[in-house]
Amino acid sequence: MKKLSIISIVFLCVTACSNSEKLTQYVNPFVGTTTLWESKDLGYTPQGIKRAWGAEAFPGATLPNAMIQATPVTAFRSGSGYQYEDKFIYGFAHTSKGHWNLLHLPILPVTGDVGAKNYESTYSHDNESAHPGYYQVFLEKYNVNVEVTTTLRCAYYKCTFRPEDEKKMLVDVSRTNNKVKDWSINKDGEYTFFGNQDAEGNIRFYAQCNYKVSDIRAIKDGEHEVAIVTFAKSKDNKPFELRIGFSFVSIDNAKENLKAEIGDKSFAQIEKAADVQWNDLLSSIKVEGGSDHDRHMFYSTLYRAFLWPCLRSDVNGEYTDVKGDVVKADFNYYTLPSFWDDYRNKLVLLEMVRPDVASDVIKAITDMGEKRNGYMPSFFHGDHASTFVAGAWLRGIRDFDLEKAYELMLKNATLPGNGGRPYLDEYLANGWIAEKDTTNVPIWDEYKAAVTKTIEYAYDDYAVSLIAKELRDDKNYKLLREHSMNYKNLFDPSTGFWRGKIADGSWIKDFDPYHPYYAYMFREANAWESLFFAPHDPEGMIALYPSKEAVEMKLDSLFSEPWRNYEAYNMTGFIGNYCHGNQPDHSVPYTYYFIGKQEKAQVILDSLMNHYYGMGKEGLAYAGMDDAGEMSSWYVFNAIGLYTYSPADPEYIVTVPIFEKVNFRLGNGKSFAIRREGNGRKITGIRSGDRQVDGWFVSHDELQNWGELVISTTGTR
């Protein structure tokens, strides 16, 4: 046997350590859980004590795109249920997203006499910790240390009580972020109890304890009711362990999920398995160079990008469909994505890293659409499933029925009806949607958001046209391409803004481009923030202005005209009138590329990455809501030197990465690298493999087939 030299041994050790680096160490699940309070961060001087919308993220234990999120609740009717500045914990819920819903089945380890009110416990961040798949906190009121880890469909608690205290578990059966329609909890044998809670999905649970269940009793105070589970002979040093299986189908399925995913495994084994799963996902993108802060923020945002949509089918393949029927399928059923928020970037990241999940999500939304009036489902505002489906197919994800999905999307785009696009009849008749003619609109009033709908419907038409082309539907391809130009119909050349029209076709007179609206003309934006949205036609959009110089002046003004101190809780974190705390203008900085000013775009991108992530006194806040991973995904893409400017298209606009080298392992088994040459922020050349890229875009196929993207820069950072 050939002997290895000391140098060879050291080299092999260093290489092995580098290749097996534990990336979960860089993730801080508390990133995104804080709220902005200071005027310099908010962009306005708050007039009261009402919270702005923070990242609304949760710090609890979960796995990628899992059914269960076991996370502390510090406030009901809040986004994720957790706000870092809060002082009390009310329980540990098992579903969370960040949109003021969910928080199924909160439970809380307790001691002594407990009622249906005032049972919450104080806690301290000094005795609270989290890493991917694990959360821990000490409940000061009850002197209980709580640890929790999870599988896809189960939660595993380890609670350390004082030996002199009798162990109890409070189950907050009547409360979530939604109205609870029905609940039950029953003892089953010596060590188990089971039940359900019906609130935006009827969750069933089956719980196993390592102490005998002696009693379950309900306590009611007014309308609020809780259940107290007590245990026999529980005053000792042994930690209390609770394993809970969940299902949205049946208690039997919850029991089966528990047996399949936890069985007789220990807490440590489940925690380790969770860490391994997260590390594998994070290893999809390995970065070299950059600061320690850059790496921590990068992997924290990458982690947060893979929490939603969430699994809803069981280990046996069963799920409850939108009609309430139990169905068994050969794919995993997921929740509806937050299309208006995350079609821009997060769903593309899902397509790249987890194409199997992306495919199953498309199968799920197709199933939803076929069973709900024949329209592809949408979320909140707009109709962006088309962008997701087109982007997935054109990036090579083919494990779904494209013709079925297309039939639903085409109906969304061409046939008005219940379940389809709102105000589509107006859009088809006029090429735009009319807004109400009124004055002095309060920020939070609901109207049509007619301008935003018009320009976004135009982009969705473009996305559907891409599929029409794939399926050789020439007639509808031509029609949809014509409709995709409708974004021009609400451009007002006299002001240089997109602007609302009333039914007779005249411009809305009470037009102030600085005034933010929740849904009047613009959705969660003002006219400044709604500029330059035509991802499918940037050159046509630029041509609406007199010259490229005029576009540059408009962009410069967007980033320099000061915010007028409007207090809108969903709009925070400004550069001029650009708002990074909400989605509508997240693609606007790249407009500089199309007038030959890439370096100006990079100044904005760098400022956003450097100053708008890790904000606030704790350094944990985002500029605004994460919105199911959109804000996080924006950071991930720009940090590695790519952005999904037109997410329906299988290509990426190239930016300057903050890392010297990025190794990206796609979910289809292929890999590519991104390498930065120079330390500047002005791009002087882009090379894909041996080919010099003409322009600013690189295709998905080029990345995965040529293997390396080299971005040459000049100047200093």
For 362-425, the DSSP string reads: HHHHHHHHHTTTT-----SSS-THHHHHHHHHHTT--SS-HHHHHHHHHHHHH---TTS-TTHH
Position 517: which residue type? Y
Average pLDDT for 198-205: 97
In DSSP notation, 568-608 reads -TT---EETTEETTSSTTTTGGGGGGGGT-HHHHHHHHHHH
Least confident of 13-22, 345-354, 372-381, 506-515: 13-22
Phi, psi angle pair for 580, to nearest 5°: -85, -10
Give the global pTM.
0.96
Please say if the pLDDT value at position 687 is more than 80: yes
The average pLDDT across 690-714 equals 95
Distance (Å, whole) CA 493 – CA 577: 20
Residues in the chain: 717
pLDDT given for residue 18 in this prediction: 41
pLDDT at 3 over 60: no
DSSP 496: T
* Burial class of residue 706, CB neighbours in 10 A (0-12, 13-18, 19+): middle
Q: Rounded to an integer, what distance in angstroms lies between the CA atom of residue 371 and that of residue 359?
A: 19
HSE-CB for 298 with a 13 A CA cutoff = 24
Q: Does 394 have pLDDT greater than 70? A: yes
- The single-letter DSSP state of residue 429 is H
Average pLDDT, the chain: 94
- Tokens 């791009």 correspond to what residue? 683
Q: Is the pLDDT of residue 388 over 90?
A: yes
CA distances for 112 relative to 159, 169, 344, 537, 631, angstroms: 16, 11, 50, 66, 43
Please compute the mean of the pLDDT values over residues 248-268 and round it to a whole number. 98
Instruction: Work out the average pLDDT over 82-111.
Output: 96
Q: Which helix (H) or strand (E) holds 36?
A: none
In this prediction, residues 115-136 reach a mean pLDDT of 97
pLDDT of residue 715: 82
pLDDT given at position 20 = 65
Average pLDDT over residues 360-369: 98
* pLDDT at residue 255, as a whole number: 98
d(CA 533, CA 531): 6
pLDDT confidence of 717, banded at 50, 70, 90?
A: low
β-pairing, 285-288 vs 691-692, is unpaired
> What are the φ and ψ backbone dihedral angles of 240, each rounded to 5 degrees?
-85, 130
The answer to whether the CB of 129 falls within 8 A of the CB of 27 is: no
Q: What are the DSSP calls for 294-352, one per residue?
A: HHHHHHHHHHHTTS-S-B---TTSEEE-TTS-EEE-SS--BPPP-HHHHTTTHHHHHHH
Whether the pLDDT of residue 8 is over 60: the answer is: no
CA distance 570 to 246: 33
What does the angle CA 101 – CA 207 – CA 321 come to, to the nearest 5 degrees? 45
Share of the chain above pLDDT 70, in %: 97
pLDDT digits (tens, 9 = 90+) for 150-169: 999 999 999 999 999 999 99
Task: List, for residues 212-245, the tens digit of each pLDDT value.
Answer: 999 999 999 988 999 999 999 999 999 999 999 9
